[in-house]
Amino acid sequence: MYLLLDIGNTREKAALVKNGKVTPLPQLAPENLAKLPIKAVYFASVTSQEKLLTLKQTLGLAHLPWRQVYSDAYAYGVRNVYQQPQTLGVDRWLGMLGGQSLFPGQSILIVDAGTAVTLDWLDANAQHSGGWILPGLKMQQQAVVSNTAKVFNSETFNGRLEAGVDTVTCLQNGCLAAVLGAIRLAWQEAPCSKLLLTGGDSKFIKPYLAEYPVSVEPLLIFHGLARYIDM
């Protein structure tokens, strides 16, 4: 059994791999991990070495091998289009590796809807042809509210693809429309065999993409990370 970690600046997401099967680990608690026969930890990280060391100690796993994964020019049949491949966000890289492992031989538009929304095209030969980055739903709303005097928002997101009738719905609906518009324009630019969604805001986006061959994979990054086990 292996522990997979996606380590951000504010939180960590985790999954387990056993016999090739990836399963989520909702609670990353030392008392839970101590009961598991974990052989090694594979992780992607954007945090500092100091925080990483603290995390190892906190989880009680400092005695295990920790293997960090970085974006690369080529791995497992997937080719990165970036001239400086290490500058591609590792979450995007792992998303492509995960997408290719789940849908081999298919062209894929991968959309990760989180703090930022990223879109990446992967052709049927697993060649990355580039992508887009835009603010996510929450980031868009925060940008408008913080830079205008009379626009306000609510804590709950109820965006719909329709005209708003008050300030909150105008803001939320507009932000949702911007993300959906980018996805639809991306598909128009280069249609694919599969539209693959991941990220926390996928639940808001998927209902408006019924006309596309959509799949949602919450563990996409971990499927990519799992490919590095036993290199």
List the catalytic residue out of 6, 72, 91, 123: 91
Look at residues 105, 102, 79, 89 and name the one whose alpha carbon lies nearest to residue 223: 102
For the chain, strand residue ranges (E) read 2-7, 12-18, 21-24, 40-45, 66-68, 74-75, 78-79, 108-113, 116-122, 128-135, 194-198, 214-216
d(Cα 74, Cα 93) in Å, to the nearest integer?
10
Determine the Cα angle at 208 with ends 206 and 212, to 5°.
75
**Residue 91 falls in the annotated catalytic set:** yes
Structure tokens at 7: 């380590």
Look at residues 24, 37, 80 and name the one whose alpha carbon lies nearest to residue 223: 24
For tokens 């100690």, name the residue: 57
Q: What's 71's DSSP letter?
A: -
The residues annotated with a catalytic role in the active site are: 91
